[in-house]
């Protein structure tokens, strides 16, 4: 069995009703099926971008349409992709519905790695990307609910960052890793960041080696509290360990364990894939919906 594409919908509490659960599983399946379409004629970059696009468009996850809001009630998103030794990322963008497409543009059409803020939004407009419709009803309700809790004295301060992740029923960042027929690996991530973050805050998702990393040995993507993921260079370490011969499961496990020992549990999750198509998905939160599809089309959904 050689896994060619794995995706996740974010680490979090995921204490949701049965209908939402079914939607989450169905969306993970759709992302895998859509991404897999590129397997026969496209690259691993095509696979991760189309899978992440499905997750961004679903409104189910904290990315694209479903992005959470900051303290001021506004959306700002980060995304990144890596493939064949190059990375492209966007930080603090507000315009595009699909930041992953803009990250791909940075990778393929510029000499840079990260483009941020208004300048990135202007590129999105110029290249004709679809605009974001604004925060979803579900996200605005969560925001209003939290403000009400503050007014009622039930929430005295912003429980940022760790307990907030546990409080949220939503997951975090979405991501995908893929291996194509040429043996090239790719990683892609997209996120609305952390709920109630300070305006201007940028997380791990646009930073190669933190939120995502891919080279000739392996590919990994992260979800969870971005500050901890940045400080631990998490995905770079996972892929480096794979390069040094560690099994992919062990490589993810040891980085997660080291995060756990410094920052405690309930803060992060990862999926990773090596050049042989061996996959791992591990998290220290209550759940992390993820799944994979193999060369033969076998599809599995796990983590929830």
Q: Interacting stretch for ligand GLY, rule CB under 6 A, among 48-56, 121-129, 220-228, 283-291?
A: 220-228
| Residues whose CB is less than 8 angstroms from the CB of residue 37 and which lie 6 or more positions away in sequence, other chains included | 50
Among 193, 209, 266, 291, binds ligand GLY (CB under 6 A): 193
Neighbours of 244 (CB within 10 A): 9
Among 56, 184, 204, 274, binds ligand GLY (CB under 6 A): 204
CA nearest neighbour of 73 among 140, 145, 2: 140
Binding of ligand GLY by 44 (CB under 6 A)? no
Looking at the Cβ atoms of 10 and 291, the one nearer to ligand GLY is 10
How near is the Cβ of 152 to ligand GLY at its closest, in Å?
28
Query: Of the listed 19, 20, 110, 173, which one is catalytic?
Result: 173
In the structure encoding, which two tokens stand for residue 204, read together?
């791990």
CA nearest neighbour of 113 among 83, 140, 73, 144: 83
Looking at the Cβ atoms of 31 and 68, the one nearer to ligand GLY is 68
In the structure encoding, which two tokens stand for residue 252, read together?
């993810």
How near is the Cβ of 192 to ligand GLY at its closest, in Å?
8
Whole-number Cα distances in Å, 294 to 25, 88, 160, 251, 290 = 17, 26, 38, 21, 14
Binding of ligand GLY by 226 (CB under 6 A)? yes
Binding of ligand GLY by 172 (CB under 6 A)? yes
Among 98, 190, 191, 215, binds ligand GLY (CB under 6 A): 191
Give yes or no: 19 in active site: no
Interface of this chain with ligand GLY, residues 72 to 131, rule: CB under 6 A = none
Distance CA 211, CA 17 (A): 29
Binding of ligand GLY by 188 (CB under 6 A)? no
| Residues whose CB is less than 8 angstroms from the CB of residue 42 and which lie 6 or more positions away in sequence, other chains included | 180
Q: Interacting stretch for ligand GLY, rule CB under 6 A, among 45-53, 162-170, 188-196, 290-298?
A: 188-196
How near is the Cβ of 48 to ligand GLY at its closest, in Å?
17
Neighbours of 295 (CB within 10 A): 15
CA nearest neighbour of 281 among 267, 298, 268: 268
C-beta of residue 227 within 8 angstroms of C-beta of residue 237: no
How near is the Cβ of 194 to ligand GLY at its closest, in Å?
5
Among all residues, which ones are annotated catalytic?
173
The residues binding ligand GLY (CB under 6 A) are: 172-173, 191, 193-194, 203-205, 223-226
């Amino acid at each position: 069995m050689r896994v060619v594409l794995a995706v996740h919908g974010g680490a979090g509490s995921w204490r949701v009703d049965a209908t939402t659960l079914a939607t989450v599983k169905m969306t993970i399946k759709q992302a895998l099926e859509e991404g897999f379409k590129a397997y026969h004629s496209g690259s691993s970059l095509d696979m991760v971008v189309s899978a992440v696009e499905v997750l961004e468009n679903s409104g189910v996850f904290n990315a694209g349409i479903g992005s959470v809001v900051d303290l001021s009630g506004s959306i700002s998103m980060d995304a990144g992709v890596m493939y064949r030794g190059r990375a492209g990322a966007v930080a603090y963008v507000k315009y595009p519905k699909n930041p992953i497409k803009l990250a791909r543009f940075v990778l393929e059409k510029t000499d840079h790695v990260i483009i941020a803020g208004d300048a990135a939004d202007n590129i999105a407009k110029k290249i004709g990307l679809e605009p974001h419709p604004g925060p979803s009803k579900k996200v605005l309700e969560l925001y209003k609910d939290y403000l009400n809790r503050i007014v009622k004295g039930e929430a005295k301060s912003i429980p940022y960052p760790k307990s907030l992740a546990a409080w949220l029923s939503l997951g975090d960042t979405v991501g995908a890793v893929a291996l194509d027929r040429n043996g090239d690996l790719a990683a892609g991530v997209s996120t609305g960041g952390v709920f109630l973050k300070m305006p201007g805050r940028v997380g791990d998702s646009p930073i190669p080696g933190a939120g995502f990393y891919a080279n000739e040995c392996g590919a990994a993507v992260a979800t969870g509290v971005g500050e901890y993921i940045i400080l631990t260079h998490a995905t770079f370490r996972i892929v480096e360990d794979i390069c040094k011969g560690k099994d992919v499961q062990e490589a993810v496990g040891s980085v997660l364990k080291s995060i756990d020992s410094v920052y405690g549990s309930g803060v992060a999750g990862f999926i990773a894939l090596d050049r042989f198509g061996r996959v791992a998905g591990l998290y220290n939160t209550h759940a992390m919906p993820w799944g994979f599809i193999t060369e033969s089309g076998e599809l599995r959904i796990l983590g929830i």
